[in-house]
């Protein structure tokens, strides 16, 4: 990647009060979005660092992949609105877009799909890793372990400086994650692993590996397949979120890419991030009935009670998450297909959203439903257990992670990620022998 964000002549001048020390720092503009101050020379000029816990105000890299306008509720992959992609595109087409920057033409699309689907099988010895886990292991724990283990198997895709090896590594990750995810599920329910069928295509093959059993024929339901395809597209990338930043930070040391993706999976697992889809459904089950919503919201607003309204709020969106809107629509389609006329959980979610969106606590903090609010209702209606929700997120997000990793490795300005700190611990002091300690 050639860095294209350039100073456009604008500067900002910072003066340390009470001194005559001044620094003039360049302002850099991207294609769209707020300008950023280039603080790289701040320490040289003023001897101070910046402090930004949680990186709420810090651009960690230049990227051309995904853009979010959090105030307007806009999400673009390589410039294309998420609504158009969710409606008209396929997951592998979106994967091509995120990885290579453009939608494929017909030949590129065929070659890409063929290339990915050729890599769906796992090395047979990887099967044995599953047996090492307890039957009741959380499937995200299995994902962290088995995806990390891929680093020991594919030595011909480990030279990160070779573009062809980077390509094969990306293909392997995108292709093998559904197989690992489906086997993690099969392992947890004690059913035999189902080997991939490349003729089915990406999403159908995943549903087949999840749901088929050797004793019966299995036909993929096209309505559910389309809903899953859309779900995958919506989860494919989301710029510099915690897990993508984790993948970039791990990758910045030149680490093994399979291990970097395992690090991303670990980061995604937390309930503040991808684990929120599982947590949101558990929350709805705990609330149980709309009559209990006022008490639940009372608990959420109580600062001494660590309850949060899961699936609500976002670091970047201060408006409705566009993905949540699409998923809310998708819920109705899936429930209808599954013959569920009334889903008390969907009714509860809609009511909870309505009450929260008119409550001053949520209004004043600009807290809106995010992607995780409705996603679990769809997956539950499809028959998936809650413990698999974040696993599905990991399958879809692997495309984004590997695209972000590839962009990082190809960025000439890339350096190892190494934040600074404000040290507030003890100043230097001498060792005290044991018999002299109080």
Q: Among residues 9 and 360, whose Cβ is nearest to ligand CMC?
A: 360
How buried is residue 156: exposed, middle or buried, by Cβ count under 10 Å (0-12/13-18/19+)? exposed
Find residue 24's DSSP bridge partners: 13
CB of 364 to ligand CMC, least distance (A): 9
Q: Which of 85, 310, 335, 349 binds ligand CMC (CB under 6 A)?
A: 310
| Neighbour count for residue 300 (Cβ, 10 Å) | 20
Task: Tell me the torsion sign for CA atoms 77, 80, 85, 90.
Answer: negative
The single residue of 237, 238, 314, 321 carrying the catalytic annotation is 314
Q: Which of 150, 309, 388, 392 binds ligand CMC (CB under 6 A)?
A: 309
Minimal CA–CA distance to 146: which of 404, 395, 365, 438? 395
Minimal CA–CA distance to 181: which of 219, 210, 204? 210
Contact status: 148 vs ligand CMC (CB under 6 A): no
Residue 82: what are its φ and ψ, rounded to 5°?
Answer: -60, -35
Contact status: 167 vs ligand CMC (CB under 6 A): no
Nearest residue to the partner ligand CMC, using Cβ: 313
Contact status: 313 vs ligand CMC (CB under 6 A): yes
Residue 314 appears among annotated catalytic residues: yes
The single residue of 372, 411, 430, 435 carrying the catalytic annotation is 372
CB of 305 to ligand CMC, least distance (A): 10
Q: Among residues 372 and 407, whose Cβ is nearest to ligand CMC?
A: 372
Q: Which of 367, 377, 384, 396 binds ligand CMC (CB under 6 A)?
A: 367
What end-to-end distance do the CA atoms of the chain give, in Å?
59
Strands (E), 42-184: 66-69, 74-77, 80-81
Ranges within 30-89 binding ligand CMC (CB under 6 A): 54
Q: Among residues 300 and 349, whose Cβ is nearest to ligand CMC?
A: 300
- Distance between CA atoms of 173 and 49, rounded to whole angstroms? 38
Q: How many residues bind ligand CMC (CB under 6 A)?
A: 20
Contact status: 178 vs ligand CMC (CB under 6 A): no
Contacts 24+ apart (CB under 8 A), 7-10: 7/38, 10/35
Ranges within 254-293 binding ligand CMC (CB under 6 A): 272-274, 276
Contact status: 184 vs ligand CMC (CB under 6 A): no
CB of 283 to ligand CMC, least distance (A): 10
- Distance between CA atoms of 373 and 354, rounded to whole angstroms? 13
φ/ψ bin of 256: left (φ > 0), alpha (ψ from -120 to 50), beta (otherwise): beta
| Neighbour count for residue 78 (Cβ, 10 Å) | 19
Contact status: 318 vs ligand CMC (CB under 6 A): no
Alpha helices in 132-192 (DSSP H): 139-149, 163-189
With beta carbons less than 8 A apart as the criterion, state whether 149 and 401 touch: no
Question: Which range of residues in 29-37, 195-203, 218-226, 313-321 is near ligand CMC by CB under 6 A?
Answer: 313-321
Q: Among residues 16 and 272, whose Cβ is nearest to ligand CMC?
A: 272
Contact status: 241 vs ligand CMC (CB under 6 A): yes
Q: Among residues 115 and 271, whose Cβ is nearest to ligand CMC?
A: 271
Contact status: 300 vs ligand CMC (CB under 6 A): yes
Q: Which of 370, 375, 398, 403 binds ligand CMC (CB under 6 A)?
A: 370
Residues catalogued as catalytic: 314, 372
Residues within the interface to ligand CMC (CB under 6 A)? 54, 241, 272-274, 276, 300, 308-315, 365, 367, 370-372
């Amino acid at each position: 990647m050639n860095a294209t964000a350039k100073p456009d002549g604008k500067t900002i001048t910072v003066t340390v009060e009470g001194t005559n020390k001044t620094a003039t720092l360049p302002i850099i503009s991207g294609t769209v979005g707020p300008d950023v101050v280039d603080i790289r020379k701040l320490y040289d000029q003023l001897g101070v660092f910046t402090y930004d816990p949680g990186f709420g105000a810090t651009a960690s890299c230049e990227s051309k992949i995904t853009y979010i306008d959090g105030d307007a509720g806009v999400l673009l992959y390589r410039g294309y609105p998420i609504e158009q992609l969710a409606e008209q595109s396929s997951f592998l087409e979106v994967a091509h877009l995120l990885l290579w920057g453009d939608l494929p033409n017909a030949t590129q699309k065929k070659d890409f799909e063929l290339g990915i689907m050729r890599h769906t099988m796992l090395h047979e010895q990887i099967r044995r890793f599953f047996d090492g886990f307890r039957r009741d292991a959380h499937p995200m724990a299995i994902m962290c372990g088995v995806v990390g283990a891929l680093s020991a198997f594919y030595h011909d895709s480990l030279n990160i400086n070779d573009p062809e090896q980077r390509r094969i590594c990306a293909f392997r990750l995108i292709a093998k994650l559904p197989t690992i995810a489906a086997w993690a599920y099969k392992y947890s329910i004690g059913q035999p692993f189902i080997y991939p069928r490349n003729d089915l295509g990406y999403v159908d093959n995943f549903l087949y590996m999840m749901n088929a059993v050797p004793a019966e024929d299995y036909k993929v339901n096209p309505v559910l397949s389309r809903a899953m395809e859309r779900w995958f597209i919506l989860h494919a990338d989301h710029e510099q979120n915690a897990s993508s930043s984790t993948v970039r930070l791990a990758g910045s040391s030149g680490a093994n890419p399979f291990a970097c993706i395992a690090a991303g999976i670990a980061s995604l697992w937390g309930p503040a991030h991808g684990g929120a889809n599982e947590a949101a459904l558990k929350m709805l089950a705990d609330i149980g009935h709309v009559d209990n919503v006022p008490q639940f919201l009372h608990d959420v607003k109580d600062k001494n009670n660590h309850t949060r309204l899961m699936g609500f709020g976002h670091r970047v969106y201060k408006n409705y998450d566009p993905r949540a809107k699409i998923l809310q629509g998708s819920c109705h389609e899936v429930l209808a297909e599954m013959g569920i006329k009334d889903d008390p959980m969907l009714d509860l979610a809609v009511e909870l959203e309505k009450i929260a969106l008119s409550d001053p606590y949520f209004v004043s903090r600009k807290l809106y439903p995010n992607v995780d609010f409705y996603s679990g209702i769809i997956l539950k209606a499809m028959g998936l257990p809650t413990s698999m929700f974040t696993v599905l997120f990991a399958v879809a997000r692997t495309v984004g992670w590997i695209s972000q990793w590839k962009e990082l490795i190809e960025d000439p300005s890339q350096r190892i990620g190494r934040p600074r700190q404000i040290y507030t611990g003890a100043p230097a002091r001498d060792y005290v022998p044991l018999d002299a300690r109080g």
